[in-house]
Amino acid sequence: MKTRIYKSEDLNKKEVQEDIKNTLLSGRNVIFPTETVYGIGAYALSEKGIKGIYEVKGRPSDNPLIMHISNNTDIYKYTCDHQAYVEDLIQAFWPGPLTLVLKKKAQVPYIITGGLETVGVRMPSHPIALKVLDISDIPICAPSANISGKPSSTLFEHVLEDFKDRVDIMIDGGKSQVGIESTVLDVTAKIPVILRPGVITKEMLETVVPQVIGGKIHTSDDIPKAPGMKYRHYAPKGDLMVVDGNIDQVISYITKQINTTDSKNQIGVICTTDLKEAFTGAFVYSIGEPNQEEEIASNLFAALRAMDKANIETIYAIAFHEGKYKDALMNRLMKAANQQIIKL
Ligand code: AMP
Ligand code: MG
């Protein structure tokens, strides 16, 4: 298969629009950017298209997919039994990086819900994602466009690395703005529960709903509430450890590792820009100024992928304890590290 690659401006051409629509309707896959990460899309009601996603990603079949819609009101077509506050959340946060888990209607196939009675639904805000939904006029399931287990794709080159000539169409939308996946919120009960933290935080949700449960860092002792949470995720090829302590302790610990390692084994460090010069001899990837959380979130997955490209076998990442995205960042880092943390 030879992948057809389109750019944003191509989406105004009639023949490209037809190609995207026909590809999805015939049960094949289209990769497109969203504001969170790149998604690999299939027509939600096409068994062939959905199977294609699971196959090409190598995704376990009990890890459900998020259904993307381009119109708020479509949520009523596919889900039912809404709590009164659901509409308030939609008004406040859609389009945007918030997935709502609701009771599904019969027409939503179990193949996308991993056999569950609920389905996750989101209206993305990225203009290309919305355009793809509008052109095709169908609901689209679009999990992150990465081989299962690897870091999500936030740059077009990541998508090429994983899927070139393995899907029909890819749309290049440059860098993902948010860079980590949507907040997943179970809204089936009176009090909503955060199943996966994201940039729409518990505090932000609580400006709309009086109480929200969860949002803390997921550790291996928790019972996974979103089926996908039990799987290894975001993992680089090398062995990643999160290092948690004050800045001086972290620098001295990592420096010691750099100085005592076998010289053939270069160590990788993921840190904020202020620490860039602190780790001589290591492969350092700085992901943003300490107070620039948006920038840090948008660069995290690129940092993990850069470690793979440089064939780094041992990676240390500094822990994040400050700022509104700390739960979302630590959730991704701890999974990438397979829960390995060094507390100093
Ligand atoms: P991804 O599409 O790769 O961003 O992963 C989707 C995430 O949403 C996974 O962690 C899923 O387990 C979670 N998810 C999707 N649908 C549901 C659902 N019906 N109930 C609980 N979690 C869900
Ligand atoms: Mg994913």
Give the strand order in the sheet containing 239-244.
Answer: 283-286, 267-271, 314-318, 239-244, 341-343
Residue 223: pLDDT band (50, 70, 90) is: very low
pLDDT (tens digit per residue) in 190-214 = 999 999 999 999 999 999 999 999 8
Pure H helices in the chain: 14-25, 47-57, 75-78, 85-93, 110-113, 127-136, 156-163, 202-205, 247-260, 293-309, 326-336
Percent of the chain at pLDDT > 70 equals 95
CA distances from 148 to 6, 30, 46, 235, 296 (A): 24, 17, 21, 9, 23
The residue to which tokens 């080159």 are assigned: 157
User: In this predicted model, which residue has the larger pLDDT, 264 or 240?
Assistant: 240
Residue 300 to residue 158: CA distance in whole angstroms: 13
The atom of ligand 1 lying closest to the CA of 120 is 16
Residues 6+ apart with CB under 8 A from 123: 68, 69, 70, 71, 72, 90, 94, 95, 96
Looking at every residue in the chain, the average pLDDT score rounds to 94
For ligand 1, atom 17, the nearest C-alpha belongs to 120
Residue 160 identity:
L
Architecture of domain 239-343: 3-Layer(aba) Sandwich (3.40)
Residue 187 class from Cβ within 10 Å (0-12 exposed, 13-18 middle, 19+ buried)? buried
Give residue 143 CA to ligand 2 midpoint distance, Å.
6
pTM of the model: 0.94
Spacing, Cα 276 to ligand 1 middle (Å): 35
Region 4-205: CATH code: 3.90.870.10
Where are the domains positioned within the chain? 4-205, 239-343
Number of the ligand 1 atom closest to the C-alpha atom of 37 = 4
